[in-house]
Every structure is written in structure tokens, then in C-alpha cells.
Structure 1
Amino acid sequence: MILESLSKLELPATADFHVHLRQDELCDAVVPTIRKGGVNVVYVMPNLIPPITKVKQCLDYKAKLEALEPKVTFLMSLYLHEDITPETIKEAKESGITGVKSYPAGVTTNSSSGVVDYEQFYRVFEEMQNQDLVLNLHGECPKQLGITVLNAEEKFLPTLLSIHAKFPKLRIILEHCTSAPAIEAVKQCGPTVVATITAHHLFLTIDDVVGDAHAFCKPVAKTDTDRTAILQAAVSNNPKFFLGTDSAPHPRAAKSSNLKKAAAGVFTQPYATHTVLDALERACKEGTLKEEQVTMEVLEGFLGKHGRKFYGVEESKEKIVLKRKGEKVGDLVEGSVDVVPFRLGEETWSLTWKT
């Protein structure tokens, strides 16, 4: 299949297994853009202020999201914190919560309450394994001597492997992989360990990030070699790898280059499906991928089928249609919040829902 030669493409609705939908006005503005990206299932991150550590808190948040967009399935998570106990995990399972997200302390947005010592949560992990809840790992080590944004993910991999060895039946997702070593580590683990890959990391390298606050996220994009490994994983049709955009909106002011430190996050939600297709097409043009690698089976697997199977979500009956009409990435966020989408002004596909 050659994307460049296509004028029209029909796919099952995309499932996005890593999104940040924020709270208050920002949440109100962002949630209506989910289906604009061709997505009807999302896995929601819990790093609000305060973080979601209680089951009731999580269910209240879900109810708000469903009221804003009833045509989207919201899978919910708790924030790994000392308040989370084995009893919390049992309650979460009974309440339909899907997993628990782990943030290393201080590495990204709203992660100040994150994990310092993973061993203190072994009882929680054991109960998660018993209850079949998913552990979502932000795979970076906190900043310390010898650790930078470029090696923080690779330095975290022994922690992933040790948790997997201790709890081999625990379903674990290494979120937003950015490096070749991370891809290889996930491949070497058993079938209970998988990984998400973002849309923007299929585009970016560290050179793109330097000087562009709107391309800055955590973990940061790495080298050309790492991006190639991520692209190859995305088109491998290996069920261990599927889409989790890590779409993370911030008001324009929080991404300003005038700030001492811009907020970490890239906003792709309104163009989730489009961005993946554009990235794969560009990779074919530059020779990083071969055109014959991008098949319908590959697209359907990466954009939804693999993730749905891992999470136990039924395959989509809804379809999306993408056409080439010369559409450009625009500002699709309505309301008083000003959020800049990734690749603003660049040409992309036009997307509609099949009726």
C-alpha cells in the first residue's frame, strides 16, 4: 500500500491508549476534539491537581468526561501514590477502573507526587496482578548525577525488567517509548509487557525539539536511530506496539519561549490519526520505511486492533474516512483556552466519520 498514491482511506475508528484531558476550562475545550482525531476510545491519564488517587475521584472525573463527549469510551486510571493500597486496587477493579499510572517523581507535568521507590508498591503490584489491572509506566529515571533527558528512559529499563520478573503475569505498558533500547527491552519481555508509541515521536528527533517549545515533551524525542526504531516497531504488526498519543495540551502561554522552562507536552488530539499517517508517509518518502511495509493490516493493528485486544476492548464498529483535500492543521480548540496543536499550519488529511 502506498499512502502517497491514495486519495481516500477507510479505517476502523482509532483507539488512543494514552491521553491527557486535563481539568476545568482546558478539559472542556479539549474533550470535544477527541472524535475530530478519528478516535472513539481513550485511556485517560490521572495526573490532575490533585492527582487521582481515589476511586470516587476517578469515577467523578469519568462522569464529567462522558457528559462532555458521550460518543467516546473513556478508560480510567489511578495515580500510583502512597495512598494507593491493595484494598484500593480491589475497589478499583469492582468499579471498572482499568489501570494505575506510575510517574517517577518530578519528571513531567504534575508528577511531583510520583514514585521514588518502586519496591514500596510491590504489594500493590501483586494485587494488580491478581485483579488483572494494567500498570502504566512512565519509563524515565528522575534527574540525578549521570542522568539526562537523553538517557533517562534507557536508565529506567532495568526497573521495567525487574518489575516484570517479579510479577510476570502483571500487564505492564511502557508508555511513549522514545528509544531503540526501550523497543528492544519490550520485545524481550513476555507477552504481558507491551508499549505505546506516540504520533509526534514518529516525527521528531532531538534536533526538532531544541528551540521549539511546541515540540517539547517528556520523554523528549531522541536521535534519528531511535526514531527509526520507533517507526519500524509501529509498522511491524507486532501486537506489543500500538498507539498512545500522549496528547498533552497546555495553554499557549505555558509553552512560551519567554518562560524559563516551557511546559512539557505536545497536543495532537484533534489530528491523532492524521498525524500517524503523515509520519508514516514522510518516513516512506525519506527512505526510513519501505512503502510495502505500510499495509492496511499494519494501520488497523497499530491504530487500534492491538491496543483494543490488550485492554479487552471490543473492535470498533465505527469507521473513519480520510481524504486528501489540502486541509491544514488548524486551531480546533473552541472556547477561551488557547492551545497550539502540533504541526500548526502544515498540510494533512481530511477526516470524516462514515455514516
Structure 2
Amino acid sequence: MATPTDTLTLPYAADFHVHLRHGDMMRMVTPTLRSGGVNVAYVMPNLVPPIKTTEEALRYKAELEAIEPRVTYLMTLYLTPELTPEEIHKAAAAGIAGVKSYPRGVTTNSDAGVESYEIYYPVFEAMEACGMVLNLHGEVPSDADKGVCVLNAEEKFLPWLRTLHERFPRLRIVLEHATTKAAVDMVKSLGDTVGCTITAHHLCLVVDDWAGKPHSFCKPVAKYPYDRQALRDVVKEGHPRFFLGSDSAPHTRNTKECAQACAGVYTTPALVPYLAALFDELNCLDKLQGFACDFGRRFYGVQAGLDEGAMTLKRGNWEVPSVYAAATENGSLEVVPFKAGQKLGWQLQ
């Protein structure tokens, strides 16, 4: 890493949780991976309809490569009852990296999600044998009768993480987009086959920052100040099983600025500058490369993108655009990014 005074030189980052959508939105957001400092993207499968087979994942990958070939796309399948051990072996042979589990109804495009994990044990056994990664959206559905809401849905899920790890100790499991101190503590307590992604926005936000503010509203929601501090502490520590997964999730401006705003924060176009500014504020710029570039690659066993050279960030006073827009056959597509119109202390040269 270069001197942290005026410039910062890093390998390109690896984002181990990103939504690239499909259609016009896919064509608009995929090129911004590189402009945000990323050359490895772990792509989520919750399209409509979801990506459930090897063929569908490979077709989706080909579409993404045609748009931005300088990025390595690691593809995933959506965990549904139709997924079989035979399909897992087929997917692994084709280079599919993992399987994503969404509890039913907890976030965008999760209607086909999981209600109980026991029926998937044969699939998990096949994944363990093939070396595929299980990615867990770590929440349970809200249920007022059981006292479950968005603020404790992650903590209520954590016993499942422990159960799955104990049942499949060789299966690599990633708890996605952690938001609580309880999640940090749980992952730390488990073995080396359990990792955890943390987003740029959850390192910045608490509950007051999204309540009534649709462009900071995501699932899982940001929690309490002590939860945010636990996330910050673990990245400042440089713990090797906690790494970048942006959960960058673009939605059109009109579907965010409405009575029932879609859940998702769009960070892709300035992902590394967001992180550099925050790590600088936290006085831990020396931990940025491990978090954003090294630890995730190491956990997944991929070296993609490390031979490409480096990117350079420059200290400055860069203003995040107020909106990203693209012309389509049906008019203009507009997406408002995280921290729109705010100044960041770092930008990519």
C-alpha cells in the first residue's frame, strides 16, 4: 500500500455480494463496477424469475461479460426446493461458485425463499463435497405474534447459522451483510469455514439514518449505534473472515421515492471511495486492502483480478453525483446513489 497521505494504491477490489439486475438496469449498472474500483463481482441470483439452474447462471454470466468483460463474474444459484444434489455437481463442474439462501419474503425478490433448512441437507452435503459456498441472507421473516421485526430478525436467525455449521463443518458458509454485534460475535465464535460480508453502507448507517429516508433504506436494515460500532471494530481489527460484500442494490428513483420504497442501497459506482473515506475517518486505512481486496478472495479460494495491476485513489473533495441516469427505449432510467450530493475525501484517479 502506498503512503496514506495524498494517494492510496490498492489491487482492484473484490465485491462478494452485488446485484446487477437484468435488462436496462443491468446494462446501466454493470459498467460501473470498474468505475467503483471492482474487478471481481459475486453476482446475486434473485432476478425475476430467479436464477435456479446451471444453464440460467451461465447465460446470465455471458450477458454480463458482453457488457463489461474486464470483470470476473462469480455466479450463484437461488436455493429453492427444485435444486438437487445432481444440479449442484453440474453447477460446480461449470464453475458456479455458490448457492444463495433467502428466507421467504424478507427482502427484494425473495418470494421463492426458504421456510425450513432441513429439506436442503442433501443439497448442502453435495455442496460440501463440491466446494461450493452457501450464502445466507441472515434474517427470519417478521412475525408479530413471535416478537420478530426488522430490528431483531438477524439476531433471531443466528442459531440457524450455528446449526448449519455444526451439521456441515466443512461447508463454507457466508453470513451476508451483517448488521449486528450479535452477528459479529457469532461468526467469530465459529470455525474457519464461516465467513461474513459487511457492506459500505452498514458501516456508515444506524436506524435514524434510514427511517423516512428511502435511499438509505435496505434489508437488513441498519441497527443501533453499538451494532455499527461492532462492525467498525471488526474491520479495524482486520479479522480475515470479515470482508467486502457491498449488497449494492439499484432501484429506479420512482420505486425508492414512494410510499412503499424498495429495499436497497446503490453503492457500486463509488464503492472503493466510500470505503477509503470511511477507513480514513476511522484511522485504519492500512486495513482497507485486506477487507476490500484480499480476505474475500482468500476465503473463496479465488485469485481473479490480482494480476491486473493496481488502482490509485487520491485524497480530495469529490462530490458523489446526485443521480446516475441512462436513456432507454422507454425513457430515462434514474438511480440515486448512496450519499448523493455529499463530498467524499477520496476518489479514484
TM-score normalised by length of structure 2: 0.94
Deviation of 1:272 (Å):
0.7
Deviation of 1:88 (Å):
0.7
2:176 aligned with 1:175, yes or no? Answer: yes
325, 336, 346: which is aligned to 1:340?
A: 336
Query: Residues 138-217 of structure 1: matches in 2 within 5 Å?
Result: 138-144=137-143, 145=145, 146-217=147-218
Would you say the 8 A contact 2:275–2:288 is kept in 1?
Answer: no
**For this pair of structures, how many residues does the alignment match?**
339
Quote the residue 1:350 is aligned against: 347
Quote the residue 1:82 is aligned against: 81
Query: Residues 1-355 of structure 1: matches in 2 within 5 Å?
Result: 6-144=5-143, 145=145, 146-256=147-257, 258-259=258-259, 261-282=260-281, 284=282, 291=283, 294-296=284-286, 298-314=287-303, 316-317=306-307, 318-330=309-321, 331-335=323-327, 336-348=332-344, 349-352=346-349
1:185 counterpart SS class: helix
**In structure 2, how many angstroms separate the alpha carbons of the residues matched to 1:137 and 1:92?**
18
Q: Which amino acid aligns with 1:211?
A: G
Structure 1 pair 142/347, CA: closer, same or farther in 2 (3 Å)?
same
Deviation of 1:122 (Å):
0.5
Listed as ranges, the gaps of 5+ residues in structure 2 are none
Q: Which amino acid aligns with 2:185?
A: E
Would you say the 8 A contact 1:268–1:342 is kept in 2?
Answer: yes
Deviation of 1:324 (Å):
2.4
**In structure 2, how many angstroms separate the alpha carbons of the residues matched to 1:316 and 1:332?**
29
Q: Write 1 or 2 for the structure with the bigger share of strand.
A: 2
**In structure 2, how many angstroms separate the alpha carbons of the residues matched to 1:280 and 1:332?**
25
Q: Which amino acid aligns with 1:50?
A: P
Deviation of 1:279 (Å):
2.1
Q: Which amino acid aligns with 1:160?
A: L
Cα RMSD for the two superposed structures: 1.5
Deviation of 1:131 (Å):
0.5
**In structure 2, how many angstroms separate the alpha carbons of the residues matched to 1:326 and 1:194?**
34
**In structure 1, how many angstroms separate the alpha carbons of the residues matched to 2:86 and 2:112?**
20
Deviation of 1:129 (Å):
0.4
Q: Which amino acid aligns with 1:323?
A: K
* Runs of 4 or more consecutive aligned structure 1 residues displaced over 6 Å after TM superposition: none
Cα distance per residue 1:167-208 (max 9 Å; x no partner): 000000000000000000000000000100000001000010
Q: Which amino acid aligns with 1:10?
A: T
Deviation of 1:325 (Å):
3.3
Deviation of 1:333 (Å):
4.5
**In structure 1, how many angstroms separate the alpha carbons of the residues matched to 2:221 and 2:78?**
22
Deviation of 1:9 (Å):
1.0
TM-score normalised by length of structure 1: 0.93
Deviation of 1:339 (Å):
0.3
Greater mean deviation of Cα atoms: 322-331 or 200-209: 322-331
Deviation of 1:12 (Å):
1.0
Deviation of 1:24 (Å):
0.5
Would you say the 8 A contact 1:20–1:248 is kept in 2?
Answer: yes
**In structure 1, how many angstroms separate the alpha carbons of the residues matched to 2:49 and 2:226?**
38
Deviation of 1:295 (Å):
4.5
Would you say the 8 A contact 1:7–1:324 is kept in 2?
Answer: yes
**In structure 2, how many angstroms separate the alpha carbons of the residues matched to 1:154 and 1:333?**
37
Listed as ranges, the gaps of 5+ residues in structure 1 are 285-290
